[in-house]
């Protein structure tokens, strides 16, 4: 049979048509690349601009201004500091407290951070603990616990006033507290509380103590009136102290020409006297070596 419809032969593609198609494809790719490059450049610019604004503090300043404006609005409607009530203040001055709080009448009370205010107060020399409360709408309540001078501490020739915990009360002249017990040596301040508790057990003997020296980070030497040195042991110092008090009551040892009393050996008392001094035999008969 004859084919009624002759087959369609493919038309040859001309070279100029191929070139046009290639150009269009390249043009689309170029536009995409340009768009992506522009987008990346914009992103990098925004990122670096934000970083610069942040590092320069501009963003933080704007945020602070917004917050400050909000606090001013609260003050305008009555939430402002009108009074500061302080309890427990003895040695700390009013001006010091107000300077640490950084408040004055009219300060927005909601702008006062109790935690920050407490930390500032506790940085003052005399204040040990502080509590800060905002009692809305107008009152700041402060409760203080001040440090108590406990001993004078001498280290490398320098005198400091120390509280019972062994902390130096900074900026306090030692001469104002010359009546306090004196402890000497590195680490003496931290161990002063236990020493004075021990000395208190024998108040008559304690009244004779001029100073206490912390020796080798482990024991005490006591300097008594009359130039007598008492060497306490590292262990059972309280028992040795009571032993010395008993001997003093029975034999009045400290009224003689004694230079050194060594209590470091358990159950023994070693006494060193001034040249040509005599110790009565009764002390030996009491069971103590001289």
pTM over 0.75: no
Average pLDDT over every residue of 202-212: 97
Q: What is the pLDDT of residues 164-202, one digit of tens each?
A: 999 999 999 999 999 999 999 999 999 999 999 999 999
Dihedral angle sign, alpha carbons of residues 264, 270, 276, 278: positive
Tell me how far apart the alpha carbons of residues 183 and 82 are, in angstroms, rounded to a whole number: 46
Q: What is the pLDDT of residues 114-159, one digit of tens each?
A: 999 999 999 999 999 999 999 999 999 999 999 999 999 999 999 9
Q: How confident is the model at residue 74 (pLDDT cuts 50, 70, 90)?
A: confident
Q: Do domains 77-146 and 151-285 have the same CATH topology?
A: no
- Using alpha carbons, select from 180, 132, 129 the residue that is nearest to residue 154: 180
Percent of the chain residues past pLDDT 70, beyond the cut: 72
pLDDT value of residue 185? 97
Tell me how far apart the alpha carbons of residues 218 and 186 are, in angstroms, rounded to a whole number: 11
Tell me how far apart the alpha carbons of residues 35 and 41 are, in angstroms, rounded to a whole number: 10
pLDDT value of residue 17? 54
Cβ atoms < 10 Å from Cβ of 5: 5
Strands 139-146 vs 127-135: parallel, antiparallel or unpaired: antiparallel
Tell me if the domain spanning 151-285 has CATH number 3.40.50.2000. Answer: no
- Using alpha carbons, select from 90, 88, 79, 85 the residue that is nearest to residue 101: 85
Average pLDDT over every residue of 236-256: 94
- Using alpha carbons, select from 196, 211, 184, 91 the residue that is nearest to residue 150: 196
77-146: CATH, from 3.40.50.300, 2.40.128.20, 3.10.20.310, 3.40.640.10: 3.10.20.310
């Amino acid at each position: 049979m004859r084919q009624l419809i002759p087959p369609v032969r493919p038309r040859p593609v001309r070279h100029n048509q191929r070139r046009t198609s290639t150009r269009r494809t390249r043009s689309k790719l170029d536009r995409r690349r340009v768009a992506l490059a522009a987008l990346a450049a914009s992103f990098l610019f925004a990122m670096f601009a934000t970083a610069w604004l942040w590092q320069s503090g501009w963003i933080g300043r704007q945020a602070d201004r917004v917050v400050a404006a909000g606090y001013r609005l609260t003050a305008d409607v009555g939430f402002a500091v009108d009074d500061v009530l302080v309890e427990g203040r003895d040695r700390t001055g009013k001006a010091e407290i107000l300077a640490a709080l950084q408040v004055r009448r009219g300060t927005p009370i909601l702008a006062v951070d109790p935690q920050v205010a407490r930390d500032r107060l506790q940085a003052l020399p005399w204040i040990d603990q502080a509590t800060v409360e905002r009692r809305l709408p107008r009152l700041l309540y402060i409760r203080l616990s001040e440090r108590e001078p406990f001993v004078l501490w001498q280290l490398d020739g320098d005198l400091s006033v120390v509280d019972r915990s062994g902390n130096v009360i900074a900026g306090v002249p030692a001469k104002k507290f010359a009546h306090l017990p004196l402890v000497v040596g590195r680490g003496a301040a931290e161990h002063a509380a236990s020493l004075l508790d021990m000395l208190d057990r024998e108040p008559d003997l304690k009244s004779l103590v001029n100073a206490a020296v912390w020796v080798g980070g482990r024991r005490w030497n006591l300097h008594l009136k009359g130039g007598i040195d008492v060497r306490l042991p590292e262990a059972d110092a309280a028992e040795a102290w009571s032993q010395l008090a008993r001997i003093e009551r029975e034999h009045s040892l400290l009224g003689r020409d004694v230079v050194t009393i060594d209590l470091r050996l358990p159950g023994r008392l070693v006494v060193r006297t001034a040249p040509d001094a005599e110790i009565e035999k009764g002390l030996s008969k009491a069971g103590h070596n001289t």
